[in-house]
Structure 1
Amino acid sequence: MSVQISASDVNKLRQQTGAGMMDCKKALVEANGDFEAAIDYLRKKGAKVAASRQDRESNEGVIIAKATEDKKSGIVVEVNCETDFVAKNADFVAFAEAIADIALANQPATLDDLKALEIDGRKIADLLIDQTGKIGEKIEVSKYEVVKAEEVVAYIHGNYRLGVLVGLSASGAGVQEAGKDVAMQIAAMNPIAIDKDGVDQNTIEREIAIAKEQIIAEGKPAEMAEKIAQGKLNKFFKDTTLLNQEFVKDSSKSISQFLDSVSKGLTVTAFKRVQLGA
């Protein structure tokens, strides 16, 4: 004899799981009215949906950047979906915020370690599968970064499209505000390193080789190429390394000079820039 499934039971299951009304009704019918069994049924259905969408691109989503209350560390995470429509959904953003909160509280070593952490007794990896089943899009956490420093600033740019963490060498009056200015600089100018010491040797050699080819192509003597190439390399460092870039808000200063004007010796010790889909 089949169990009668009431509309209130269906609604209760929908509230608990976030699944659609028809899916909830079917789950309760299959489970003979047993709520726990119905939840398992929906989870399995979600897992199947997730598995069928693993080959889909999930380049939309949100970037969440947060710093601890004492400003000594911060995290940034990228949580992806397939469409802009889902990315703008309040529930999806709240889910991403919950993952970011757990990441900030625990600061796991790797992305896999983050997915193994639990929210309300369930692993994030399992919750991602549940969300995929509920929403019908591939949901994933694709990036996770941590910065620790004397003062950390977290900044989210462009409606969750880009997140920046900046680690500064000291705390004190005006440092948070200055850090936000630097974070906005990083968001806009996308530096490749803090200073020239952070640029890898392959990049340096490639820039010198390109410069030499340009110089020789211009008809200048080969013996001059090395010296001119070094000048071009210095220009490359000025354009692409954070401390040497012109400060967007005041082009008369470099970022290094700007920070020094805020507090003598203040500098950037680390930064992370995470852009959606990049």
Structure 2
Amino acid sequence: MSVQISASDVNKLRQQTGAGMMDCKKALVEANGDFEAAVDYLRKKGAKVAASRQDRDSNEGVIIAKSAADGKSGIVVEVNCETDFVAINADFVAFAQKIADVALTEKPASLEALKALTLDGKVIADALIEQTGIIGEKIDVSKYEVATADKVIAYIHGNYRLGVLVGLSADAEGANEAGKDVAMQIAAMNPIAIDKDGIDQSTIDREIAIAKEQIIAEGKPAEMAEKIAQGKLNKFYKDTTLLNQEFVKDSSKNIAQFLDSVSKGLTVTVFKRVQLGA
């Protein structure tokens, strides 16, 4: 004799798991009305779907950037799916926001540590598998960054396509607005370091070597190459290091000068830039 499955039971299971109505009804039928067994059924279904999607690319998704209430820290996470149709879904964005909230509260040491934390009573790694089963696409967290400073500003560019954290040296007057301007600069100009001290020697050596080859190829004497290459290197610093970049909102200043004009000595101590799929 089959067990009668009530609409309220189906709705209760749906509220708890987020699974579709027909999936919930089928789970309760398979479990003969046993609620816990129905939850297990849905979890196993999610695991099977997840296993079948492991080789799929999940290059769509959202970037969530958040700063703590005290302004002393911030996080960026990238939560992925397979299609932009899912990426713009409000439930998927809300799920990513929840993961970001856990990351902001706990500040785990690594991406693996983040996935081991708990979200709504479930380990995040299991919640990702569950969402894969519900949505039918591979769902994962691929990037996680954290920043701490005297003042951290978080910025999300576009429709959750890019996230930036900027850490400033002081919580000075005007720091919030200035930090947002600098975050927008980072989003647009993609610097590789705060200043030239942050660029590794191998990158510098490569830039000098390329410059010398270009100079000699142009027919200039080899003895001039070193001097001209140094000039090209300075241009490289100006283009690629944040504090030396021309401020996009006021080309008469670089970022270092702009921050100093906001508050004497104000500077950037850390930044993080995470772009979807990059």
TM over 0.5: yes
- Which residue in 2 is equivalent to 1:135? 135
1:234-253 equivalent positions in 2, closer than 5 A: 234-253=234-253
CA–CA distance in 1 between the matches of 2:15 and 2:114? 27
Shift of 1:202: 1.2
Q: Does 1:26 align with 2:26?
A: yes
CA–CA distance in 1 between the matches of 2:59 and 2:135? 15
Q: Does 1:214 align with 2:206?
A: no
Alignment TM-score, normalising by the size of structure 1: 0.98
Shift of 1:119: 1.4
- Which residue in 1 is equivalent to 2:260? 260
Shift of 1:7: 3.5
Shift of 1:27: 1.1
- In structure 2, give the amino acid aligned to 1:173: E
Shift of 1:24: 1.7
CA–CA distance in 2 between the matches of 1:121 and 1:7? 25
- In structure 2, give the amino acid aligned to 1:207: E
Shift of 1:14: 2.3
The CA deviation string for residues 69-113 of structure 1, in whole angstroms up to 9 with x for no partner, is 110111111100111111111111111111111100110100111
Q: Does 1:162 align with 2:162?
A: yes
Shift of 1:25: 2.1
Shift of 1:121: 1.8
CA–CA distance in 2 between the matches of 1:18 and 1:104? 24
CA–CA distance in 2 between the matches of 1:219 and 1:186? 37
Q: Does 1:177 align with 2:148?
A: no
- Which residue in 2 is equivalent to 1:77? 77
Q: Does 1:94 align with 2:94?
A: yes
- Give the number of equivalent residue pairs: 278
Shift of 1:23: 1.8
CA–CA distance in 1 between the matches of 2:19 and 2:118? 21
- In structure 1, give the amino acid aligned to 2:32: N
- Which residue in 2 is equivalent to 1:53? 53
Q: Which moved more, 1:58-67 or 1:10-19?
A: 10-19
Secondary structure, aligned partner of 1:152: strand
CA–CA distance in 1 between the matches of 2:148 and 2:12? 44
Shift of 1:2: 2.1
The answer for unaligned runs of 5 or more in structure 2 is none
- Which residue in 2 is equivalent to 1:118? 118
Shift of 1:192: 0.3
Q: Which moved more, 1:252-261 or 1:7-16?
A: 7-16
Secondary structure, aligned partner of 1:269: strand
Q: Which moved more, 1:244-253 or 1:24-33?
A: 24-33
CA–CA distance in 1 between the matches of 2:21 and 2:181? 48
Q: Percent identical across equivalent pairs? A: 85
The CA deviation string for residues 48-81 of structure 1, in whole angstroms up to 9 with x for no partner, is 1011101111111111111111101111111001
- In structure 2, give the amino acid aligned to 1:46: G
CA–CA distance in 2 between the matches of 1:114 and 1:47? 20
Alignment TM-score, normalising by the size of structure 2: 0.98
Shift of 1:169: 0.5
CA–CA distance in 1 between the matches of 2:177 and 2:21? 48
Q: Does 1:194 align with 2:211?
A: no
CA–CA distance in 2 between the matches of 1:10 and 1:153? 43
- In structure 1, give the amino acid aligned to 2:156: I
Q: Which moved more, 1:9-18 or 1:40-49?
A: 9-18
Q: Does 1:153 align with 2:150?
A: no
The answer for unaligned runs of 5 or more in structure 1 is none
- Which residue in 1 is equivalent to 2:36? 36
CA–CA distance in 2 between the matches of 1:35 and 1:41? 10
Secondary structure, aligned partner of 1:234: helix
CA–CA distance in 2 between the matches of 1:21 and 1:27? 10
- In structure 2, give the amino acid aligned to 1:217: A
